[in-house]
């Protein structure tokens, strides 16, 4: 790999000190760094990304990596995360180890791990992707929402809850985990449905095949009035849905490619992160 796109989170690298160190080390080793250009809303300006990029280096936390994975999904550029955040499940490299990490990249001592993504389509028109999760939740008031979940055209359940999380294996350690869902090995080919604060005693998470098609449909509320919910893709800006609206969710044809520099198992990483060490 010779050409690197540097995507930095200026909130975590305020003086861009770490960014400068990365660029200097890449240049010193005869490679080319290119700083990503970000617009006023924090999105990558796609037209200014060089065509010859071999790898994207993400300087921030898991949130920065998630955003980059979605915005670079169509380019299929491998990503390597440098952890300037806290837990960093996706960020492979700690700041102090950045030279060793880059040396491995220069020497070709790495593997590429493919992570599945979800595609969601709202009312057959608005489409988006997610590497972590697609969440449909109540909007506005604190009252619970009513919605149906279908799997492959068959009604799974009518939920009275705050919402539902449709999670990838990568996203299982995020909102899904906080809502009581299972932790899943990140390369597994499955999808997890986890209701949020359901008003029932028997509504546990459900694990499905990655090939299943999930539909979430907004119903009338308990009094027969129109319901309002919102759908988000990896926590991005919510899109309002009302009674009768549907979001169709399935496995995306795109994947996120993450560079792996160690053979450390996911379980070992999980144990370390959960202990905060």
Residues 205, 224: one domain?
A: yes
Q: Is 132 exposed, middle or buried (0-12, 13-18, 19+ CB in 10 A)?
A: buried
Both 172 and 54 in one domain: the answer is no
- Is there a catalytic annotation at residue 245? no
Is 67 in the same domain as 130? no
Shared domain for 172 and 144, answered yes or no, is yes
- Torsion sign (Cα): 83, 69, 35, 3: positive
Residue 136 sits in the same domain as residue 246: yes
User: Using an 8 Å Cβ cutoff, are 250 and 266 in contact?
Assistant: no
- Which residues constitute the domain of residue 24? 3-110+261-274
Distances (CA, A) of 101 to 22, 25, 58, 95: 11, 11, 13, 10
Intervals of the chain under pLDDT 50 = 277
Which 3 state secondary structure label does DSSP give 159?
strand
Q: What are phi and psi of 8, to 5 degrees?
A: -110, 155
| 155 class by beta-carbon count within 10 Å (0-12 exposed, 13-18 middle, 19+ buried) | exposed
Phi, psi of 101 (to 5 degrees): -65, -45
DSSP 8-state assignment for residue 90 = S
User: Tell me, what CATH number does 15's domain have?
Assistant: 3.40.50.10330
219 in the same domain as 193: yes
Q: Give the whole-angstrom CA distance, residue 56 versus residue 72.
A: 9
Helix ranges (H only) for 29-159 are: 62-71, 98-106
Domain shared by 233 and 142, yes or no: yes
Q: How far is CA 218 from CA 137, 148, 150, 227, in A?
A: 10, 7, 11, 7
138 and 98 belong to one structural domain: no
Catalytic member of 62, 133, 234, 245: 62
The CATH number that applies at residue 122 is 2.60.200.30
Question: What pLDDT does residue 277 have?
Answer: 45
Tell me, yes or no, whether 33 and 152 share the same domain: no
Determine phi and psi for 106, rounding to 5 degrees. -60, -35
CA distance 186 to 182: 12
Report the distance separating Cα 27 and Cα 21, nearest Å: 10
Domain identity same for 106 and 227: no
Specify the number of domains making up the chain: 2
Residues 82 and 195 in one domain: no
Say yes or no: 122 and 248 in one domain: yes
């Amino acid at each position: 790999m010779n050409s690197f796109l540097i995507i930095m989170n200026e909130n975590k690298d305020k003086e861009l000190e770490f960014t400068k160190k990365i660029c200097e080390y890449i240049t010193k080793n005869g490679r080319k760094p290119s700083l990503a250009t970000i617009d006023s809303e924090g999105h990558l300006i796609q037209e200014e990304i060089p065509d010859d990029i071999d790898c994207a280096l993400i300087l921030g936390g898991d949130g920065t990596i998630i955003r980059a994975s979605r915005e670079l999904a169509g380019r299929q550029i491998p990503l390597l995360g440098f952890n300037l955040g806290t837990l960093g499940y996706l960020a492979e490299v700690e700041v102090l180890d950045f030279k060793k990490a880059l040396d491995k990249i220069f020497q070709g001592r790495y593997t590429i791990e493919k992570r599945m993504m979800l595609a969601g389509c709202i009312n057959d028109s608005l489409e988006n992707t997610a590497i972590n999760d697609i969440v449909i939740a109540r909007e506005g008031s604190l009252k619970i929402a009513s919605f149906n979940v279908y799997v492959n055209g068959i009604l799974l359940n009518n939920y009275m809850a705050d919402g539902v999380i449709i999670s990838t294996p990568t996203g299982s350690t995020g909102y899904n985990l906080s809502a009581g869902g299972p932790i899943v090995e990140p390369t597994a080919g499955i999808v997890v449905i986890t209701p949020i604060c359901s008003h029932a005693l028997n509504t546990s998470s459900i694990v499905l095949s990655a090939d299943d098609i999930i539909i979430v449909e907004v119903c009338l509320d308990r009094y027969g009035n129109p319901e309002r919910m919102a759908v988000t893709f990896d926590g991005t800006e919510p899109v309002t849905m009302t009674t009768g609206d549907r979001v169709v969710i399935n496995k995306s044809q795109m994947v996120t490619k993450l560079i792996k520099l160690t053979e450390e198992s996911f379980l070992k990483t999980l144990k370390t992160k959960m202990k905060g060490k």
